[in-house]
Homo-oligomer: A and B are copies of this chain.
Amino acid sequence: MIHSLFGIKYPIIQAGMIWCSGWKLASAVSNSGGLGLIGAGSMYPEVLEEHIRKCKAATNKPFGVNVPLLYPQTDELIQIILRENVPIIFTSAGNPAKYSGLLKSNGRKVVHVIANQKFALKAAEAGVDAIVAEGFEAGGHNGIEETTTMTLIPLIKQCVNIPVIAAGGIATGRQMLAALALGADGVQIGSRFVTATESSAHEAFKQAVIAAGDGATMLSMKQLIPVRLLKNAFYDQVRAAELAGADPDMLKEILGRARAKKGMFEGELKEGELEIGQVAALISEEKAAAEIITDLLTEFHEARKKLSQEQYNF
């Protein structure tokens, strides 16, 4: 199980999400026995430094930073992470080999996020300590193969020997149990923590996630970079362009700049980019991170106990 690798109590990782997971959420999750991650993807270097310092002041438990490797300032972010002694680094959206050696030689735990076997093998070769395998149902950026968590976890367990953390489609204790039944060594949870009290998501975005039902999200902008979005006016615009045969440049123009900030951080629900997973349909209220973890564990143990009952002895 993944918790022994990180020195945490439960095999639950809070995903490092742009505009939602700053030091408040990360420290609250880590203080509750999970692993909190600061999402550096939306942060300038000085902002990340501030969040790391505040997180260290708010918890004496392990926490980490998620760094998407696609931004020009990645070198700077990694230097700050090293200097500030962040013990755990999750990388995503790029080649993990670029930083894994440096981070490992400095005694850090390194985890890389993937969505197919090819990149899982690359990450394992790069020497990472664990992998997050993220299914099609996950919010935000996603793989082009569209492999769902149900299929992806066994596929990844088949090809690597390092721990595999399941992501995508996990917001409840039953879903956590299902992920572990598939062979995962832990779970990464995003959407459910977007609605946590300590999340920095705008209150209007949190309420939109809570209101979301069956079919409220869709994988979008596949010709540019696939991203799962809550359907809104912006999504409709992208969809219409896609149906008319839009190419990547046209999608890039529609996307424009700072739409994710506008949507998730500033609460502009119509024109903003609202990244969230399919499990939004199962999220029904805003709760503190500690309560979310308690809920997850309670349902997990209940469902696990049920699976051990006689009716399953066929």
Contact = CB atoms under 8 A, between A and B. Distances in A.
Interface in A109-159: 116-118, 135-137, 144-151, 154-155, 158
Oligomeric state, in number of copies?
Answer: 2
Nearest to A222: B243
A282 B155 contact: yes
Contact of A312 (B9, B281, B282, B304): B304
A116 to B, nearest CB: 5
A175 interface: yes
A297 B282 CA distance: 30
A178 B177 CA distance: 7
A267 interface: no
A147 B214 contact: yes
Interface string A282-304: 10000000000000010000011
A168 interface: yes
Interface string A224-262: 000000000000000000011100000000000000000
A312 to B, nearest CB: 7
A146 B219 contact: yes
A177 B314 CA distance: 12
- Of listed A144, A172, A175, A303, residue having the most chain B CB within 10 A: A175
Interface stretch (A94-102, A180-188, A199-207): A180-188
A136 B218 CA distance: 12
A243 B145 CA distance: 16
Interface residues of A, number: 56
A47 interface: no
Contact of A155 (B136, B245, B281): B281
A192 B119 CA distance: 26
A223 B309 CA distance: 45
Contacts of A144: 215
A158 B283 CA distance: 12
27 contacts: A1-B314, A11-B314, A116-B214, A118-B214, A135-B148, A136-B136, A137-B150, A144-B215, A145-B214, A146-B219, A147-B214, A147-B215, A147-B281, A148-B148, A148-B149, A148-B150, A150-B169, A151-B281, A154-B172, A177-B307, A180-B312, A181-B304, A183-B303, A243-B245, A304-B308, A307-B308, A308-B308
Given A117-B213, A148-B148, A180-B307, 12 more contacts: A136-B136, A136-B146, A137-B147, A146-B215, A148-B150, A150-B170, A174-B181, A174-B183, A177-B307, A181-B181, A244-B245, A245-B245
Closest 6 pairs (CB-CB, A-B): A245-B245, A150-B169, A145-B215, A178-B178, A148-B148, A178-B181
